[in-house]
Structure 1
Amino acid sequence: MKKNILFLLFILSSFCQAKELNKTYSLWYDRPAFNRGGNYSKIAAKGYPFDEDWERWSLPIGNGYMGANIFGRTDVERIQLSEKTIGNKGCYGAGGLTSFAEIYLDINHNHAKDYKRELRLNDAISTVSYSYEGVDFYREYFANYPDNVIAIKLKANVPGNISFRLRPILPYLHPENESKTGRTGTVKAEGDLITMEGNIQYFNLDHECQIKVVNYGGNIRAAQDIQGKQNTIVVNQADSAVIFIAAATSYQLNDSIFLLPPLEKFRGNEHPHRQVSERIKNATDKGYECLLKEHITDHQQFFNRVDVCLTEETPVIPTDQLLKNYKEGKRDPYLEELFFQYGRYLLIASSRAGALPPHLQGGWNQYEYAPWSGGYWHNINIQMNYWPAFNTNLAELFIPYVQYNEAFRKTATRYAVNYVKKNNPEALDPIDEENGWTIGTGATAFSISGAGGHSGPGTGGFTTKLFWDYYDFTRDLKILEEHSYPAILGMAKFLSKTLKPTPEGILLVDPSSSPEQRHNDKYYQTVGCTFDQGMVWENYKDLLEAAKVLNKKDPLLNLIKEQIGKLDPIKIGESGQLKEYREEKKYGEIGDPHHRHISHLCPLYPGTLINSSTPEWIEAARVSLDSRGDITNGWAMAHRLNSWARIKDGDRAYQLYQLLLSLKVTENLLGNNPPFTIEENFGATAGMAEMLLQSHEGYIEPLAALPATWENGSYRGLVARGNFEISVTWKNRNAVKFNILSRKGESCRIRYANIKQTKITDSNGKSIRYRVLEKDIIEFKTKPYNSYYIQF
């Protein structure tokens, strides 16, 4: 309860008043999404069926808890419902997501005219409009977070024309069986309410969905399907109708989920019927218009914080045609803006306090076995999901991962003990907690793995980087004290026990693996690879900074101060490359030279070890990036994009941004690994922000990697470390003005060419004194929530 109150206090303290954006951002199409069924001949994501139409054409809405994919059809509308806590055995046998329900509306409006379907990012509302037999029809869909319901409204411009059959199903039902893959359930309609309830055998996990229909005019009745089962609702000749959807399971996030075997995880938990019923009743009592207004206010408090303007024009062609033109070489800055804002929209829709974090597909999944289990892969997926949270002004959206991580921490401590016992027993502490905690690659809503396998212990340091950034961008001491510092300290305790000395006095992680790299057809295991050494360094550096802020005196700190100087994390090879392995000489002699992962460059991004103060390492990183190549998996291209931005090569970063849009995005602008994974979207959004603003070197650097193509533009609301909200206008690739809102009142250091010749004023027009630290770096004092203006 105390943690929840603090989370709410943080939300209130960092609330940004919604502002209107320069333009409307929407995905829109002049035809419905196809719904031709899954292509079972395609092998993707561990061999499970592939639904190309769901992947490419449906439009996602979500509230963090639930997600829905809208097809916008006029004959039989399909609304595919996802919910993050419904899982089955999964494709690895360790638990994985499954689809919750399919909801069909038999409307039977064939050969509609003047058709348009749209997803407006500004207010997170999806719409469908068309005319049929002289009547104009309109549908509206949104996922409300405060009340955790999905709402749909159907109306027409002529009274008495809303008629449809609501026909939901529970998918993938199987009898219980020895392999424990059964799913049982029933669908029952009574009056204006449909209740779908069932059980997942593998976890004995109960689930329920209720769908309430409110008709205005006409009549409504429960009806039988063609098999004689009372499981549909028919609305006839209404003026309008509203549908409310709520779904939940008996899942409750706590440490027992990760400590207990499958059938014990949810034993004794309350059946979801009561909470689902309360949500439906509350939604009905409030009414559609109240929920809509509440939804828009809630969404826009996040979405409207950031505005990026690269063009004043808004295209008048459908999004799929816009994307097609872009792929054919017709650059469109509006599409580049749209793609950036789409990533922010998707994060708002899939990461909200109280719900689970966004998984591999964000908050959406239509499959019986979600690709790669729909998990939280800790060798880059979960990190990339949150890269845009901090610099695009969405820090509160990291709360779900904090809650998830702290729930699995006891299990992670057990894994740490087991790891040290196996690999460095002489370092084992008799007190379990003093061995820290660890995390491996694989994790889901139902289980986690420990360090080892194809990704080394550095995976943990890669993870705690998020916790440091959570503090560093907010500068909230409660966050540091209660969440970030414990996470970073616990990881440092573990990592300190993975190091072994060499005769030369260097400390190396042993055993060590660069994520998913293979050599001679086997995952390559070594000692002290750059990924592991670099992520240990990042964790140690963050711990020492955090301890200094909090004036901590933990006994471990002296050891960390000693060890950090002995890590020797970065080595340069004979090809001029930044080595992935200490033993490599020329680039590519170990492992796949064009591997999707660039884990040895994590000290460049998202780390800070490689920076402009180490120009020889920057150049070596450039050689490695060039040698690795650009064309690979979508998420891996997004990591390359952010890395080129960190090198401050805006043109190469922009090239990756273009390639992502041209090669790794489908008609609905979702990332195409393939199949669909969400990281491409989040990584691309973070990458554009990194091109426009950097702050990892102890100062704020606007336009650090501005490409030549973005000759003129502006942005508002990006966030720099120190909790400075930055707005910039530029012309002919030169800054015109900076607006800096200091949300914590810390000293502001800012770097830009010839900045010492400028004048700084505050919101009252008063000149602000500053001192010159270096040729292009100045520093000045600020006050909390005061604005400062720099004019060029």
Structure 2
Amino acid sequence: MQTKLFYKSRAKAWEEALPLGNGRIGAMVFGNLKTERIALNEDSLWSGYPKDLNKKDAGKYLKPLQDAIFSGDRKEAKRLANEDFHGHWSEAYLPFGDLIIEYKGGKTRGVTRTLDLSTAVATAENSDVCETVFVSYPAQLLVINIKSKKGITAKIKLFSLLKHKCRTEEDTLIIEGDAPEICMPPYYNTGNVFDYGKGAMKFAGAVKVLGNATFESDYISVNNQHDITLLVSLATNYIDFKTMPSGNPLEKAMSHFDSIKPYKELLKEHITDHSALFGRVEVDFGSERADIPTNKRLKQFKKGADDNNLIALLFQYGRYLTIACSRPGTNAMTLQGIFNPHIRAPWSSSYTVNINTEMNYWCTDICNLSECFDPFFEQVKKMCINGEVTAKDYYNCSGSVAHHNSDIWGASYPAGDPIGKTDSETYACWQAALPWMLNEVFEHYRYTKDKLLFRDMKPYFKKVLDFYKDFLVEHDGKLVTCPTISPENSYLDKNGNKAALTYMPTMDIGILQEFFMNCKEFGFDVPEIPDIPIGSDGRINEWAEEFRETEIHHRHASHLYCIYPSAYPQSDEVREAAKKSLLTRGFDGTGWALGWKVCLWARLDDAQNALTLIKNQLRPINPRGIKRPGGGSYPNMFDAHPPFQIDGNFGVAAGIAEMLTRGAIPKEWSGYAKGLKLKDGTELNIKFQNGKVINR
């Protein structure tokens, strides 16, 4: 199969641009050969700085809150959670800016754009110009090569939505700017929601030219050149999660020019590095329409075109984006990976750790990209360290705890309205982020068998186990979590009251089952907790009590954590109950929810239901038109929540890998898969015909 995205026009919207990245620098290439825009990101550019935003008197409200939940006083529980047990919004991941190339006499028509996933090289060309772009991990530079037989005349500029200044200095175009100290999410507009302040990060970028150019006051001028290369370096003055930003980001950016290599060497070095990772896995599902532009392929696939390798392309795209967004030494992927054009982005483009950040890393190991997992564990460490303060301030407990949202500074408090005046209990009052994240680290160990990793993660497991030993409270003769929720969902109690706060929802059971199983591997003693509850209708209960659902098709499948991603073995009875629960949840949903359901049906060995969801995830979404309520794919194959969230790309890739490794293959697929990683240390190598494995 061909691993290329292909278009016959420039990108008019950001969700049509082509993504490139080296884990640290992100670039969205529009391919406009009249006025080119390459949208830039740098993975450490965030708002804020290290600070303790835990509510220091929250702990005195813990017992009243628990009492209200256990007694069924929903109104009082909600009031206490919102007004007295709240936290603060996490910080925001920010856009760096844009590189603009203004071509004199350039044309917007007749442009062909391509992104080759196997080389991580994007091209845009017409009859006059060929533009080749990549982001090199070895060189830590964005590289743009422009060729033209007629000669190129252009202005090259830098721009940012953040406060900034541009200038040239000898042979370098420079941008320097400031990140905000305060940057609240776009749905919150009370008080001071955006402020530069004095303590936040600074950022800098620099552009050099291989070729002839003139450096004007604040732009580069190129006149009638046939072959030039732009080298772009980006940096911030971020040091680490507990240190105030300091130093000179321009010096850091300029350091990447210390050993500049010729363009051809940079390209060769980049392709060698990228293909060593991407080339480990090959798949082919039997039918292909690679001669059709990708945006049209999506539309024709929805109408029934025979194009199974569009699914294979979606799978490989998830692997490609993993390499682009997460490499050793970088920060963990955000809700948008490393690609974000908004100052006040949806959900602040931060770390949502009640599913989304974890989903970002589901496909790393099984898709043979274990090196790309490292930044996830580094984020877990930050949160574990900060979570010791949160455990004391909110729960009067030892150990460590974190809630549903975090940031580059390792936020662990229950993120939400900082003055406690709005409803945030449906998402903020959930304490199970760290055991889930550590379970994922342990799953990484199962694939790598890395003894140093086993030793490194042990103290973090101990911290979180210590918290639960203190936090679990007896209710009706069983140890339970309280207060807590089933993330972002609500129920109707026996009196018809709508509520979210509860004790021991099934997600907490599933997470702690696996967490305590993993703790035993370190020789730790663990508490006894209830089993997965099955309701009178044969489905898995979402809550400890058999409450009525307010939204049977809710996007979160939290109560099914016990099936996927959990490694804890479940009985046939629980698996059958999970199937009934999934059927009730349905086959629609937001983009990432579709990806999770693919994984669930794959783990339940139901290839056809998984395929239905994959097809739904490939539904074309127009970024410039009316947004449908369910998810799908934008023209550049980014996952549409909508809006864009990258987790759905990784979720569906993990689900397809799960299908292949379990032999749960749809009857529509004939082809092969090789290179997927198995936990026994071997790699998958199978052929299949009409869904049946014929050679292993």
TM-score if structure 1 supplies the norm length? 0.75
Paired position in structure 2 for 1:471 = 445
- Give the residue type in structure 2 aligned to 1:245: V
The Cα offsets for residues 550-588 of structure 1, whole Å up to 9 and x where unpaired, read as: xx4xxxx23x1xx2xx31231111221100012116xxx
1:719 aligned partner: 677
- The one of 408, 411, 429 equivalent to 1:448 is 411
**Aligned equivalent of 2:500, options 524, 530, 552:** 524
Offset of residue 112 of structure 1: 5.9
1:660 is matched with 617
Deviations 1:133-174 (A, max 9, x none): xxxx2110000012211000001235xx0221102112233x
- Pairing 1:355-754 to 2, within 5 Å after superposition: 355-421=330-396, 428=397, 435-450=398-413, 453=425, 454=427, 455-483=429-457, 485-504=458-477, 506-519=478-491, 524-544=500-520, 546-547=521-522, 552=523, 557-558=524-525, 560=526, 563=527, 566-584=528-546, 589-609=548-568, 611=570, 614-662=571-619, 663-693=631-661, 702-703=662-663, 705-710=664-669, 712-738=670-696
Once residues 569 and 418 of structure 1 are traced to their aligned partners in structure 2, the CA distance between those partners, rounded to angstroms, is 30
Q: Does the aligned pair in 2 maintain the 1:192–1:233 contact within 8 Å?
A: no
Letter in 2 for 1:498: F
Would the aligned equivalents of 2:201 and 2:238 in 1 still touch at CA under 8 Å?
Answer: yes
Give the equivalent residue in structure 1 for 2:85: none
In the alignment, residue 435 of structure 2 is paired with which amino acid?
A: G
Counterpart residue identity of residue 328, structure 1: K
Letter in 1 for 2:686: V
CA distance in 2, matches of 1:116, 1:661: 23
1:619 counterpart SS class: helix
Question: What is the aligned length?
Answer: 616
Secondary structure, aligned partner of 1:582: coil
1:66 to 25, 37, 45: 25
- Cα separation, 2, equivalents of 1:271 and 1:188: 16
1:251 counterpart = 2:245: no
| Aligned AA (2:160) | L
Once the 2 structures are TM-superposed, how far is the Cα of residue 365 of structure 1 from its aligned partner?
0.8
Contact 2:328 2:375 in 1 (8 A): yes
Please tell me the residue identity of whatever aligns with 1:448. A
Once superposed, which parts of structure 1, at least 4 consecutive aligned residues long, lie more than 6 Å away? none
Matches within 5 A, 1:197-208: 197-202=176-181, 203-208=199-204
Q: Is the 8 A contact 2:113 2:125 kept in 1?
A: yes
2:40 corresponds to: 81
1-structure distance, mates of 2:459, 2:287: 46
Distance across 2 between alignment mates of 1:201 and 1:58: 27
CA contact (8 A) 2:289 2:307 kept: no
Shift of 1:382: 0.9
Higher relative contact order (CA 8 A, sep 6+): 2
Q: Which residue of 2 aligns with 1:17?
A: none
Tell me if the contact between 2:382 and 2:409 (Cα under 8 Å) persists in the aligned partners: no
SS at match of 1:577: coil
What secondary structure does 1:150 align onto?
strand
5 Å-filtered alignment, 1:55-204, equals 55=15, 57-88=16-47, 94-111=90-107, 114-132=110-128, 137-158=129-150, 161-173=151-163, 185-202=164-181, 203-204=199-200
Counterpart secondary structure, 1:730: strand
Residue 286 of structure 2 is matched in structure 1 by 311
CA deviation after TM superposition for structure 1 residue 722, in Å: 2.8
Q: Which moved more, 1:665-674 or 1:400-409?
A: 400-409
Q: Give the stretch that moved more between structures: 438-447 or 119-128.
A: 438-447
Task: Indicate conservation of the 8 Å contact 2:34/2:102, yes or no.
Answer: yes
> Which ranges in structure 2 are unaligned for 5 or more consecutive residues?
50-87, 182-198, 416-424, 620-630
Contact 1:77 1:105 in 2 (8 A): yes
Matched residues in 1 for 2:482 and 2:599: separation? 29
* 1:339-375 Cα deviation digits (max 9, x unpaired): 0000000010000111101100001111112221111
**Cα contact 1:359–1:375 (8 A) shared by 2:** yes
Q: What amino acid sits opposite 2:23 in the alignment? A: G
Does the 8 A contact of 1:210 with 1:245 survive in 2? yes
> Retained in 2: the 8 A contact 1:248–1:276?
yes
CA-CA distance at 1:396 after TM superposition:
1.1
Q: What RMSD over aligned residues (CA atoms) do the two structures have, in Å?
A: 2.0
Render the CA deviation track for 1:476-508: whole Å, top value 9, x for unaligned: 11111113x33333222222222122343x221
> SS where residue 157 of structure 1 aligns?
strand
Q: Which has the larger radius of gyration?
A: 1
In 2: Cα distance, 1:362 partner to 1:331 partner = 31
Query: In 1, are the aligned partners of 2:38 and 2:98 still within 8 Å (CA)?
Result: yes
The question of whether the paired residues in 2 share the 8 Å contact of 1:123 and 1:300 is answered with yes
**1:473 Cα shift?**
0.8
Q: Structure 1 residues 156 and 438, CA, compared in 2 at 3 Å: closer, same or farther? A: same
Residues 326, 339 of structure 1: alpha-carbon distance in 2 compared, 3 angstrom cutoff? same
Q: What do the CA deviations read for 1:198-238 (whole angstroms, capped 9, x no partner)?
A: 222414311110011222xxx52123xxxxxx211111011
C-alpha distance 408-734 of structure 1, shift in aligned 2 (>3 A): closer
Return closer, same or farther for 1:574/1:168 CA change in 2, 3 Å cut-off.
Answer: same
Q: 2:115, 2:210 → 1: CA distance?
A: 24
The residue correspondences of 1:757-772 to structure 2 (distance < 5 A) are none
Q: State the TM-score, normalizing by the size of structure 2.
A: 0.85
CA distance in 1, matches of 2:331, 2:557: 28
Residues 523 and 60 of structure 1: is their aligned pair in 2 closer, same or farther, counting only changes over 3 Å?
farther
- Matched to 2:223, the amino acid is N
Separation (CA, whole Å) in 1 of partners of 2:171 and 2:286: 48
Give 1:192 shift: 3.2
Task: Output the amino acid matched with 1:248.
Answer: A
Q: CA deviation at 1:605?
A: 0.3
Residues 63, 536 of structure 1: alpha-carbon distance in 2 compared, 3 angstrom cutoff: same
Give the Cα separation in 1 of the matches to 2:94 and 2:341.
7
Distance in 1 separating the partners of 2:500 and 2:176 = 47
CA distance in 1 between counterparts of 2:240 and 2:276 reads 27
Give the residue type in structure 1 aligned to 2:611: Y
Counterpart of 2:11 (choices 28, 33, 36) is: 33
Q: Report whether the alignment pairs 1:324 with 2:299.
A: yes
Could you tell me how far apart the structure 1 residues matched to 2:93 and 2:568 are? 37
User: Aligned letter for 1:197?
Assistant: E
Contact 1:94–1:447 (8 Å) recurs in 2: no
Q: Spell out, residue by residue over 1:296-333, the C-alpha distance to the aligned partner (whole angstroms, 9 max, x if none).
A: 11111110111111126452111111111012222411
Unaligned runs of 5+ in 1: 1-22, 35-52, 174-184, 224-229, 258-264, 422-427, 429-434, 694-701, 739-792
Task: Quote the offset at 1:191 in angstroms.
Answer: 4.2
| C-alpha distance in 1 between matches for 2:177 and 2:162 | 11
1:40 equivalent in structure 2: none
| Alignment CA distance shift 1:503-1:129 (3 Å) | closer
C-alpha distance in structure 2 between counterparts of 1:470 and 1:68, whole Å: 29
Given that residues 438 and 451 in structure 1 are in contact (C-alpha distance below 8 angstroms), is that contact kept between their aligned partners in structure 2? no
Q: Is the 8 A contact 1:531 1:603 kept in 2?
A: yes
- Deviation, structure 1 residue 280: 2.4
**Deviation of 1:543 (Å):** 1.5
State, as a whole percentage, how many aligned pairs show the same letter.
30
The answer as to whether partners of 2:2 and 2:290 remain within 8 angstroms in 1 is no
